[in-house]
Amino acid sequence: MQLDTTEPLGALARRALGFVKDDTVVGLGAGRAATAFVRVLAARVRDGFRVRGVPVSEATAELAEELGIPLVGLEAEIDVTVDGADEVDPDLNLIKGYGGALLRERVVAAASRRQVILVERDKLVPRLGSRGRLPVEVVPFALPLCRRRLAALGLGPALRTAGERPFVTDNGNVILDCVVGSIADPPGLERALRAVPGVVDTGLFLGTADTVLVADGTSVSEWSRHR
């Protein structure tokens, strides 16, 4: 499938290439925007650009291998990770995990010198939680306990399914999609969630993004975190 670079995702992907240096290691994200980037990056690789990728999901790994991007593991120093997000607030805090790859996305981001996030304008929110959903990854053994504890926090956890079966992450875990409204204290909620035995990770990515590229049609703007 050819990527139409005149569309918003194509415009984002091409802009993101400017953050990738020759002969470096790149974290390859998951989701529609990250997939667009993988396709554009693969075209550069075919033209002789030397990069190796660290994928955040099995699906991303399969796509990258199919398109000819060499892959390595976390033993490599990752220069930049390019990924998507489901919400971005004005401080560049994120909610991620609608696609189910949140744990590996966090690990790869933490191993990277820089995280670049690609979103369309509809992902921008005034406060995290505005879209009403927060994924939480949990160990299957602890699912009943996690459900009770998250319900006690007022989060209305629902087990994510794939057809008639529970959705299983690449790590063998399950996801509880929690009902949230505008989150007044994201760091406090993060601490409360991580205190629940069996919670492996949450969709709250606070302070991880260095740069967010935002597509409004085919126009792309750049937001950077002030450090």
Helix (H, G, I), strand (E, B) or coil at 192: helix
Question: Is 164 known to be catalytic?
Answer: no
152 lies in a domain? yes
Predicted TM-score (pTM) above 0.85? yes
Exposed, middle or buried, 213 (CB in 10 Å: 0-12/13-18/19+)? buried
Q: Do 102 and 185 share a domain, yes or no?
A: no
Q: Do 158 and 107 share a domain, yes or no?
A: no
Residue with tokens 């126009």: 219
Nearest Cα to Cα of residue 184 among 146, 154, 147: 154
105 lies in a domain? yes
Residue 25 CA neighbour count, 13 Å, CB half: 15
Q: What strand order describes the sheet that includes 158-159?
A: 158-159, 174-179, 133-138, 199-202
pLDDT in 10s for each residue of the chain, 227 residues: 444 545 899 999 999 999 999 999 999 999 999 999 999 999 999 999 999 999 999 999 999 999 999 999 999 999 999 999 999 999 999 999 999 999 999 999 999 999 999 999 999 999 999 999 999 999 999 999 999 999 999 999 999 999 999 999 999 999 999 999 999 999 999 999 999 999 999 999 999 999 999 999 889 999 998 65
Q: Do 17 and 105 share a domain, yes or no?
A: yes
223 lies in a domain? no
Distance CA 15, CA 19 (A): 8
* Contact present, 174 and 160 (Cβ < 8 Å): yes
Read off the CATH number of the domain in which 144 is found. 3.30.70.260
Nearest Cα to Cα of residue 3 among 88, 79, 67, 82: 67
Q: Do 138 and 182 share a domain, yes or no?
A: yes
Q: Is 197 left (phi over 0), alpha (psi -120 to 50) or beta?
A: beta
Q: Do 138 and 118 share a domain, yes or no?
A: no
Q: Do 114 and 27 share a domain, yes or no?
A: yes
Read off the CATH number of the domain in which 84 is found. 3.40.50.1360
30 lies in a domain? yes
Q: Do 13 and 99 share a domain, yes or no?
A: yes
Number of structural domains (the chain) is 2
* Contact present, 95 and 182 (Cβ < 8 Å): no
Residue 158 belongs to domain spanning:
133-202
Among the listed residues 58, 87, 105, 190, the single catalytic one is 105
